[in-house]
Structures are given as structure tokens and as C-alpha cells.
């Protein structure tokens, strides 16, 4: 199949395919007429790349999965190098989750302080909002 058909079937663009090719993730085979030529195994590689990228893996992190498929394995994550990438990604995600939990706690503390301050100063703010003429008539 040609590049346009592969892009359509993989749900991506021809530009992305050329980029994957330049990065060595997609084979650069040419037909006799000079056009890029692809087959079902290339579609499988692309689906693996896209699935991983949709899950937050960067393009370089997909390389072991692609190489595993190219080596003839039934799944891109059936090789030790792919499992290592999964482990590294989980460690990275755990770190990001820890950071988010910490930031959330800080924002929660700031909100609690702001609400407490507002509760203390709200009566003063309400008095300040009363027009001057009304204050004169109150007394």
C-alpha cells in the first residue's frame, strides 16, 4: 500500500509517517516506481506507536515495542526492553502523581487560609460597602 492509504488506515497523517521513517521507526521501502511501499506489518507498527503515544509515551519510548514487533514477536510488549520502558514510565507517573498530590495539598491550605481570612474580614468589608449617606442616617 502507498503512504496515503497507510496514513488513512492508521488514523494519522503522511507527514507523521515520514517523520517516523526519518526516526527509524518505520521502514523506508520503495517500490520500483519510487513510491514508498508499506504492508500490514507496517500498519501494525503504526498502531503500536499510536497506542503508546495516546497513553503518554514519547516517540523514543516506543522504539523497543516497535523493535520487538519487527523481531517477529506476537506483541510489542513481549520483550524485556519493552517491559523496562513500562517500568520506567510507571516510575515517572508515580513521581508526577506525588507532585500533584503535594501541589493539591498546598492549594487546599491556601484556600483554607483565604476562606478563614475572608470569614474574619467579611463583616468589615460589608460595612465598607454601605454608602456614606446611609451610615450618617444610622446614627
Element (H, E) at 125: helix 80-128
**Mean pLDDT score of the chain:** 90
Which three cell numbers, joined as nine digits, stand for 135? 451610615
More confident residue, 65 or 31: 65
- pLDDT confidence of residue 121: 83
- pLDDT confidence of residue 129: 64
Which three cell numbers, joined as nine digits, stand for 46? 503504526
- pLDDT confidence of residue 82: 97
The rounded percent of the chain whose pLDDT value lies above 90 is 76
Helix, strand, coil percent values for the chain (each to nearest 5): 70, 0, 25
Amino acid at each position: 500500500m502507498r503512504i496515503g492509504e497507510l496514513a488513512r488506515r492508521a488514523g494519522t497523517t503522511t507527514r507523521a509517517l515520514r517523520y517516523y521513517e526519518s526516526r527509524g521507526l518505520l521502514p523506508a521501502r520503495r517500490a520500483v516506481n519510487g513510491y514508498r511501499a508499506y504492508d500490514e506489518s507496517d500498519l501494525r507498527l503504526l498502531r503500536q506507536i499510536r497506542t503508546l503515544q495516546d497513553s503518554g509515551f514519547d516517540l523514543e519510548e516506543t522504539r523497543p515495542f516497535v523493535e520487538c514487533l519487527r523481531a517477529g514477536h506476537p506483541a510489542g510488549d513481549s520483550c524485556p526492553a519493552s517491559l523496562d520502558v513500562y517500568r520506567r514510565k510507571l516510575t515517572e507517573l508515580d513521581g508526577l502523581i506525588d507532585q500533584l498530590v503535594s501541589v493539591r495539598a498546598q492549594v487546599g491550605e491556601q484556600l483554607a487560609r483565604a476562606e478563614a481570612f475572608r470569614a474574619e474580614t467579611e463583616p468589615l468589608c460589608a460595612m465598607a460597602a454601605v454608602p456614606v449617606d446611609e451610615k450618617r442616617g444610622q446614627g
